[in-house]
Amino acid sequence: MSTLELDLRSVKGFLVADVRGRVIGRVESPMYGSQPDVPDALAVRSGFLRGRRLVPADAIGEIDERTRVIGLSVLRESIRTFL
């Protein structure tokens, strides 16, 4: 399923994995920037003490709504951490 087929506002709790299949974390919330009603990125919680990663929408390769997994088109190391 492509990114355009599933609204990024409805992926809270989905598991996020990088291009190699390594788990990054779970979607905590959508992040908005250029448009107030379309998310530009996802805040992904890496773990209780590890903080969050900011996953840009253009780094999303596929979204599987059935398994609730978001597959990225980039490596985990290329995703920035914040807070």
Confidence of residue 6 (pLDDT cuts 50, 70, 90): low
The overall average pLDDT reported for the chain is 89
Q: Where are the beta strands (DSSP E) in the chain?
A: 15-17, 23-35, 38-47, 51-56, 60-64, 69-72, 80-82
Number of folded domains that form the chain: 1
Confidence of residue 60 (pLDDT cuts 50, 70, 90): very high
The residues pairing with 82 across neighbouring beta strands, listed in sequence order, are 52
**Which residue segment(s) compose the domain that 59 sits in?**
3-82
Domain CATH for 22 = 2.30.30.240
Give me the pLDDT at residue 7, please.
84
User: What's this model's pTM, rounded to 2 decimal places?
Assistant: 0.86
Give me the pLDDT at residue 2, please.
45
